[in-house]
Amino acid sequence: MRQALQFLTVLPVPAPFGPPGRGAWAFPAVGALLGLLAACCLKFGGPMGPMLALAALALCTGGLHEDGLADVFDGLRSGRSREKMLAILKDSRIGAHGALALTVSLGWRWQALSAMHGDAWLRLPAALAISRGAMVLLAVSSPAAGDGLGRAFIESIPRWTLFAVLPQIVLAAAACGWPAGLAVATANLVLLAVLRAWFAARLGGVTGDCLGAACQMTEALTLAVFAWV
């Protein structure tokens, strides 16, 4: 659990040294904790609740997943070689496509949070648990592409992790009630299948940025479903 907190947040959590993928089993649990923080901001933040929730998440995670989203949309454009795309993914600068992706992601999640009604804010822990679990599902079902932390993470995930993560995702979806839970699960499975195929076609696998982008996109999709259902 401490390794997952250290990996997914910038909180000063002491954790034993080890392979980065060892704590992947606790990603949904850490997501639920982050979702609880966001839910409190949304509930008690008044008119500024949605923005406070997003700001709190960005501060706690250090914008890790936002960075991945921007890099993916800057790098994975048609007409480029695989080597060129991998080089762009390693570049810390943000281009026009990455900035546009961040703007859409922020606006999308802001509007979804603003549209939530009643006790829908209680679904935020489930939403973030599902999005963090989605990263693990994508990582264990895809080969690593490129070098760096992403490869180290993917290749060091224990084989039993999937059997720890899946029940947490199912529980999170079930906690959302019917029919929201089924809608969220179905929509995210379709999105993950599309992302996996896209990353395989463009890169031959996934990188750390791909996992971060998947986290942002599944989170945005889940919040949108909750805003409607």
The Cα 118–Cα 116 span in angstroms is 7
Instruction: Identify the band that residue 98 occupies on the pLDDT scale cut at 50, 70 and 90.
Output: very high
Residue 146 has pLDDT above 90, yes or no: no
The Cα 121–Cα 101 span in angstroms is 25
Judge contact between 61 and 8, C-beta under 8 A: yes
Tens-digit pLDDT profile for residues 189-212:
999 999 999 999 999 999 999 999
pLDDT of residue 67: 92
Q: How far separated are the first and last CA of the chain, in Å rounded?
A: 32
The Cα 86–Cα 146 span in angstroms is 7
Calculate mean pLDDT across residues 41-57: 92
Calculate mean pLDDT across residues 119-130: 86
Give the residue with greater pLDDT, 11 vs 136.
Answer: 136
The overall average pLDDT reported for the chain is 91
Residue 75 has pLDDT above 90, yes or no: no
Calculate mean pLDDT across residues 168-197: 93
pLDDT of residue 119: 65
pLDDT of residue 118: 59
pLDDT of residue 78: 66
Instruction: Tell me whether residue 43 is exposed, middle or buried, using C-beta atoms within 10 angstroms of its C-beta: 0 to 12, 13 to 18, 19 or more.
Output: middle
pLDDT of residue 103: 96
Q: Which two tokens stand for residue 203?
A: 């890169």
The Cα 103–Cα 62 span in angstroms is 17
Residues contacting residue 47 through CB under 8 Å, at least 6 positions apart: none
Calculate mean pLDDT across residues 1-6: 87
Judge contact between 191 and 137, C-beta under 8 A: no
